[in-house]
Structures are given as structure tokens and as C-alpha cells.
Amino acid sequence: MNTPMRWPAEAIWEAIAPDLPGFTVEILPEIDSTNTELMRRARAGRFDPVLLVAERQSAGRGRLGRDWHSGADTHSASSACPSLTFSIGLSLAPHDWSGMSLAVGLSLVESLHPDLHLKWPNDVYFQGRKLAGILIETVGMAETPGARYAVVGVGINLQARRADGLNTPPAWLQELLPDTEAPDALLQVAAPLIHALKAFERSGFSPFKARFNARDALAGLDVVLSDGMTGRALGVDDVGALQVLGTQGLQKVTSAEVSVRPATWSAPLKP
């Protein structure tokens, strides 16, 4: 019989609750999607600060309307999760929301491993392969003008998985940290991520810029954007816009609907 996983809920709660009154940690064996669940709660007026972890998602969602599969191919054979999937829900009222998803990606790479990089805006990469993804959604809070409830969803590959149907080949955390299971990875990333979100709320993206550029997987590369633009990637600016030097001069890319990849990659961009 599989032994149940031991999650560090209490340690995370102790690190966060003093700064975030009402904060709770919930661990579920299965749900459709941790993002979908927190968005459902928010639309029903529940705006509590929460970390919601699911050992399995049946309908995980990615950016740009894509699905997010947890790599469950190996899951039935062991009690270990093939990926870590969780969402953080909290109300935030930053002066400017620009760059928040980049700050989230930066927090993940900094708390996971020095060899990880970020592909703009926020995909976590190891050696040209995607290791983790982030999906951020928000809901307006009618009774708190200026604030929104943000749902920050994170999926981290832990074990080897098939590349079928993926846009880019996968990387997984156990390549870098062989004994790391989902509860260990959660303990590494959750509290720093909530602190990064609060720091972003106070000061915006600019204090994160230099550290993002130090981890930028696209820095100095010729890139192709899904809107057809091409040029050389020159890092991000104070609001997290990707700077691309092309034939028209320096262009700033802000839209989260645009995908970017190095020109040397052969796979077509979706969309």
C-alpha cells in the first residue's frame, strides 16, 4: 500500500501567518485544478489568503488556454507525485501590476537551484527545457477598491516525463536535486514566493529587474515572437517588458499573449 505523503503544512503556515493574517494551507488528494478552485471561491466572494496544494489535478490549466498535464504516466506505480502543483490565493493592491508574473518566476528559480533560468515572461528552464510553469489569474474585489484577488498557480516537474504533446521538451527537478519529492520542493518555494508577492505589492517590479536579467535564458539570443517580430533579446526593463532589438530599433514586448523563442529552436510557436 502507498504511504501517504507528509506535507510541511505547519512549517509553511508558521513562516507566513504572522505576516498574512487568516492564512491557511490546504492539501487535497485530487481536484480538477487548484487555480480553478481558487477562482471559483473568489467568484463566490471568498478572498482568504490560502495555499492550496493538490497531489493530482484532473484538469490542470496552463497559459494561453493550454492544458497542464502533471506527467501522471508514472504516478500509479508509486506514492510520489510526478509534479508539484499548487496555487496561492491572496488579495494584492500594487501600484502597478506589470511584471508580477516575472517576479513569481524569479522567486521560484532563486529558491530552487542556481542553474535554473527564466524564459520571458515566466517559464522556468533548465538547459533549454521547461521545468516549471506559472498561471496567474485575478478577480476584482468590489468592496476593496484598488485590490484584486490574485491566484498564482505553479506546476513544477519533479520526475522524468514524456514529451508527447508538449510545446518544448521537459526538464524535471530530480535531474538537479535527485531526492527532492513534492513536499520538499513545496517547502523550498512556498514561503519565499509569498514574501516575493508581498514585496512586489510594496515596490513593483523594478527591484527584481537586475536579478531577473541575471537569470534570463534569452539574453543576447536572436528570438522570434508569435506575432512575427524578430530581433535580439536584450533583457527586461523596469516594468518587466522584454526588450528586443530588431530592424525597427528597440521594441518593448509587454503582452502576455505573445510567445517568444530563440530563433535556433525549430519547433513552431503556438499560438
Q: Least distance to ligand BTN from the beta carbon of 41, Å? A: 14
Residue among 15 and 134 whose Cβ is closer to ligand BTN: 134
Q: Least distance to ligand BTN from the beta carbon of 31, Å? A: 9
DSSP the chain: -PPPP---HHHHHHHHTTTSTT-EEEEES-BS-HHHHHHHHHHTT----EEEEES-BSS-B-GGG-B----GGGGGGSSS-SEEEEEEEEEE--S--TTHHHHHHHHHHHHH-TT-EEETTTEEEETTEEEEEEEEEEEE-TTSTT-EEEEEEEEEE-S----TT-SS-B--GGGTSTT--HHHHHHHHHHHHHHHHHHHHHH-SGGGHHHHHHTBTTTT-EEEETTS-EEEEEEE-TT-PEEEEETTEEEEE--TT--EEETT--SPP--
Q: Least distance to ligand BTN from the beta carbon of 122, Å? A: 8
Tell me which stretch binds ligand BTN (CB under 6 A): 20-28, 30-38, 40-48, 232-240: 30-38
Count, residues near ligand BTN per rule CB under 6 A: 20
Alpha-carbon dihedral sign for residues 13, 16, 20, 26: negative
> According to CB under 6 A, which one of 49, 85, 112, 180 is a site residue for ligand BTN?
85
Binders of ligand BTN in range 86-115 (CB under 6 A): 86-87
Tell me which stretch binds ligand BTN (CB under 6 A): 4-12, 131-139, 186-194, 202-210: 131-139
Residue among 186 and 231 whose Cβ is closer to ligand BTN: 186
- Cα 190 to chain centroid distance, Å, stands at 11
Say if residues 85 and 135 touch (Cβ distance below 8 Å). no
Q: Lay out the site mask for ligand BTN across 32-61 (x = CB under 6 A, - = otherwise).
A: -xxx---------------------x--xx
Residue among 154 and 224 whose Cβ is closer to ligand BTN: 154
> According to CB under 6 A, which one of 13, 17, 48, 66 is a site residue for ligand BTN?
66
Q: Least distance to ligand BTN from the beta carbon of 222, Å? A: 23
Q: Least distance to ligand BTN from the beta carbon of 128, Å? A: 16
Q: Least distance to ligand BTN from the beta carbon of 129, Å? A: 13
Radius of gyration of the chain, Cα coordinates, nearest whole angstrom: 18
Task: Please state, in angstroms and rounded to a whole number, the distance separating the CA atoms of residues 71 and 169.
Answer: 12
Tell me which stretch binds ligand BTN (CB under 6 A): 29-37, 95-103, 237-245, 246-254: 29-37
Residue among 34 and 159 whose Cβ is closer to ligand BTN: 34
Residue nearest ligand BTN (C-beta atom) = 133
Residue among 35 and 188 whose Cβ is closer to ligand BTN: 35
Nearest-10 Cα torsion for 107, 204, 38, 67: -60
Enumerate binding residues for ligand BTN (CB under 6 A): 33-35, 57, 60-63, 66, 68, 85-87, 123, 133-135, 153-155
